[in-house]
Amino acid sequence: MTDTAPHTFGPSALATPANALTVARLLATPAFILVIAQHGASWWTVAVGVLVAGTDGVDGWVARRQGTTRSGAFLDPLADKAVVLSALVLLSYEGILPWVPVILIGAREVAMSVYRSWIGRRGISVPARTSAKAKTLVQDLAIATCLVPPLAHQHDLQLAAIWVAAAFTIGSGLQYLLDARRAAARGEAR
C-alpha cells in the first residue's frame, strides 16, 4: 500500500510533529543517562531506553507521512548520536564496556557529521541508507546488553555486541563515503 496522502509540510518547514518528536528525544537524552547512572541494569532503565529509542522510528514514520524536512534530516541523526554516544560513554566510564570500540564509534559519528556538513555546503546530498538505521539498531542492542537485567552480567555478550556495533558503524561510514564520492563525481560530470 502506498502513501497517497498529500504532504502537510515542505522541505523547509521547521515546526513539524516529526521534528517535535526528534527534539523530545534529544531533550530526553540527559534523563536517560541519569536513569542509567542511578539505576544501572533495571527494567526501569529498559523502559526509559525503549521510550527514548522508540521515538526514532515514530518520528521517521510521521515525517514520511507529513513531509520530510531539511531540519529533520539534520536533527534526527543528531538525536540518534546524542542518545547512543552518551550511553556508550557512560557505560565505558562505569567500566562495563571497553573504551576502544566506543572511541571508534564516537570518532566515526563525529567525523561523519563534520563530513556531511562539509559536503552539504558544496551542494552534495547523500541520502541516508538502510545501513545507517541498521547501525543505530545494532548500537542500541549493544547498549541493551548492558541494561537488560538478565543480560547485565553477560560480559562476553556485551563485548561481542559492542565490537559488532563498532564494525557496523565503521562499515556504514565507509559506505557513506563511497556514496558521497559517487554523488560528487556525478555532480562534476554535469
Between CA 125 and CA 108 the distance in angstroms is: 19
Region 113-136: what's the mean pLDDT?
80
Buried b (16+ CB within 10 A) or exposed e, 129-158: eeebeebbebbbebbbbbbbeeebeeeeeb
Q: Which fold has domain 17-189?
A: Four Helix Bundle (Hemerythrin (Met), subunit A) (1.20.120)
Q: Is the pLDDT of residue 17 over 80?
A: no
Q: Is the pLDDT of residue 91 over 80?
A: yes
| Among candidate residues 91, 87, 138, 132, the one with its CA nearest the CA of residue 112 | 132
Between CA 34 and CA 46 the distance in angstroms is: 13
Q: Domain residues of the chain, as ranges?
A: 17-189
Q: What is the pLDDT of residue 106?
A: 97
Q: Is the pLDDT of residue 2 over 60?
A: no
For residue 67, what are the contacts with CB-CB under 8 A and spacing of at least 6? 7, 8, 9, 10, 11, 13, 16
Q: What distances in angstroms separate CA 135 from CA 59, 88, 108, 166, 182, one per listed residue?
A: 18, 14, 12, 9, 21
All 3 cell numbers of residue 171?
562499515
**Packing angle of the helix pair 17-39, 43-66 (nearest 10 deg):** 170
Q: What distances in angstroms separate CA 142 from CA 104, 135, 139, 163, 186, one per listed residue?
A: 14, 11, 5, 9, 37
Q: Name residue 152's amino acid.
A: A
Taking only the tens place, the pLDDT of each residue in 143-178 is 999 999 999 999 999 999 999 999 999 999 998 888
Q: Is the pLDDT of residue 129 over 70?
A: yes
Higher pLDDT, 121 or 105: 105
Q: What is the pLDDT of residue 13?
A: 57
Q: Is the pLDDT of residue 98 over 90?
A: yes
